[in-house]
Every structure is written in C-alpha cells, then in structure tokens.
Amino acid sequence: MDYMTLKEASKKWNVTPRQVNYLCSGGRIPGAVKMAGVWLIPKAAEKPIDGRTKQGKAEKYE
C-alpha cells in the first residue's frame, strides 16, 4: 500500500498539517498508522467530513 505524509495530505486536502495530525490522532482517517513518530496516511484515503458545520463542509468557495 502506498502512503503519504502529513504534509502531502495537507496539500491534497487543502488544510494545515496540524489539522491532518489532529484527524489522524482522533482516528478519523481509516488506515492511518504512526511509525517512528510519523503518521502515514494511505494515498487512497478521503478527507473526513468536517464536523464543525451542519452540512459537514467548511469549504464555501469551491
């Protein structure tokens, strides 16, 4: 399985690396594993729904 780093996932999903770290720590990204202090996220992983809004979408300008 191919993996991407926090930085690569943050660029792909248009969020900060800190937000991706938070999602990984919370178990919101299926298949994400922590090896030697580094989160590895499957390349096929989808961005989790943002629970901060009613619709689950924080991006208004798409």
Q: Is the pLDDT of residue 58 over 60?
A: no
Domain ranges of the chain: 3-42
DSSP 8-state symbol, 54: S
| Contact partners, residue 6, CB within 8 Å, separation at least 6 | 17, 20, 21, 24, 38, 39, 41
Secondary-structure percent of the chain, ordered helix, strand, coil, rounded to 5: 25, 15, 55
**Given this model, what pLDDT does residue 17 score?**
94
State yes or no: pLDDT of 19 exceeds 70: yes
Judge if pTM exceeds 0.95.
Answer: no
Residue 1, pLDDT score:
76
Q: Which of 1, 43, 51 is nearest to 22 (CA)?
A: 51
Which pLDDT does position 2 carry in this prediction?
Answer: 93
pLDDT band per the 50, 70, 90 thresholds, residue 50: confident
